[in-house]
């Protein structure tokens, strides 16, 4: 059994991580920290975990965390980087669900996150945990930078096309929508029910923190710098990411459906829909699946890829558990075979 610690168990990604790990047959939950809720039973805050998690929240204690085999950070950006070096020196493996180690370039990270990086030497050492791309590196990783939700949906959507060098990389467009849980578990006017319900709006048009992460991943796939326009939108639903991706084809004589099916045939958490498919966010709600469809409208030279995920599962906690399984040589689907909820 793997002894697991979670730093920051009170947010939406934290409770989703708890839900998945509590049912994982090879995991023993040992430590769950929260500065504000120390002493409270986890199941008192999250009644859905009654009978599954008996722990109480504790104040962060590095010594207690060093007794774990692996520690997950489900904390705000800028928290993990304070403690990760000490845990790594103690031999603990770390999976960070925040953005502290996602970007390779320190200056770029500090520009987008507005703070000085506390452990920049680890930026190059961290493995970007997109299993469909970096599976081999994840196996031996000591530190995993778990991808963001938008970046997961976007990169998986474009991956086959970039690997095959089939699209122009100078003008990629990602038109993306997210449920309100993507904003986190906090009191903020813009995400109140009366503010977000029955409405639809773009945000971060001039620049969103996920932009450099997506651009970094796509550049690595394309082996050349990419031009990217990324516009996120807030939709009146709780969970879900829908990415509509546009690019110009270099060639129109390729069977795009076959390309996608072949690329993802062995991937347990990517489902390529039949030709003409229209993936819905509700089809992945509560699951670790990414569902994708590829279209070429009117048979022209524009390719449109539709990619949907649950932002809290495949876009966060589920992908983190997938990385855990790979790191410790467990079956990749262990603890992640739940079917999406409907309705």
The catalytic site residues sit at 149
Strands (E), the chain: 2-7, 27-33, 70-73, 93-96, 127-128, 143-145, 172-178, 201-202, 228-234, 241-248, 270-272, 290-295, 302-309
Tell me the CA distances in angstroms from 2 to 57, 95, 167, 306, one per residue in order: 19, 14, 43, 37
DSSP conformational letter for 37 = T
φ, ψ dihedrals at 133, nearest 5°? -115, -40
The answer to whether residues 26 and 3 touch, using CB atoms and an 8 Å cutoff, is no
- Cβ atoms of 269 and 322 closer than 8 Å: yes
Strand pairing report for 241-248 and 302-309: antiparallel
DSSP bridge pairs for 28: 3
Helix (H/G/I), strand (E/B), else coil: 193: helix
Write phi, then psi, for 317 (nearest 5 degrees). Answer: -65, -40
Residue 307 CB burial class (10 angstroms; 0-12, 13-18, ≥19): buried
């Amino acid at each position: 059994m793997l002894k697991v610690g979670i730093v920051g168990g009170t947010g939406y990604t934290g409770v989703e991580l708890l839900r998945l790990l509590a049912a994982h047959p090879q995991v023993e939950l040992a430590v769950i920290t929260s500065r504000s809720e120390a002493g409270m039973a986890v199941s008192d805050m999250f009644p859905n975990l009654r009978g599954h998690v008996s722990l109480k929240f504790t104040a962060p204690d590095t010594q207690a965390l060093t007794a774990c085999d692996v520690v997950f950070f489900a904390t705000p950006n800028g928290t993990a980087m304070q403690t990760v070096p000490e845990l790594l020196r103690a031999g603990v493996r770390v999976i960070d669900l925040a953005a502290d180690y996602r970007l390779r370039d320190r200056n770029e990270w500090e520009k987008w996150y507005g703070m000085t990086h506390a452990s920049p030497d680890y930026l190059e050492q961290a493995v970007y945990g997109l299993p469909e791309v970096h599976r081999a590196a994840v196996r031996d990783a000591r530190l995993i930078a778990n991808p963001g939700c938008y970046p997961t949906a976007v990169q998986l959507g474009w991956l086959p096309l970039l690997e095959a060098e089939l699209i122009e990389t100078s003008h990629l467009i990602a038109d993306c929508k997210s449920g309100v849980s993507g904003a986190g578990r906090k009191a903020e006017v813009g995400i109140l029910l009366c503010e977000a319900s029955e409405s639809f709006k773009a945000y971060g048009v001039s620049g969103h923190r996920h932009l450099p992460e997506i651009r970094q991943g796509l550049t690595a796939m394309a082996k050349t710098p990419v031009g990217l326009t990324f516009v996120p939108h807030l939709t009146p639903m709780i969970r879900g990411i829908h990415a509509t991706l546009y690019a110009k084809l270099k060639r129109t004589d390729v069977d795009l459906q076959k390309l996608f099916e072949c690329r993802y045939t062995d991937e347990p958490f990517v489902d390529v829909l039949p030709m003409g498919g229209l993936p819905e966010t509700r089809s992945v709600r509560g699951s670790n699946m990414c569902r994708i469809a590829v279209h070429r409208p009117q048979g022209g030279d524009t390719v449109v890829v539709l990619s949907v995920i649950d932002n809290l599962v495949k876009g966060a906690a589920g992908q983190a558990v997938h990385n855990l399984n790979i790191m410790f040589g467990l079956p990749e689907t262990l603890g992640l075979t739940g079917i999406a909820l409907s309705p």
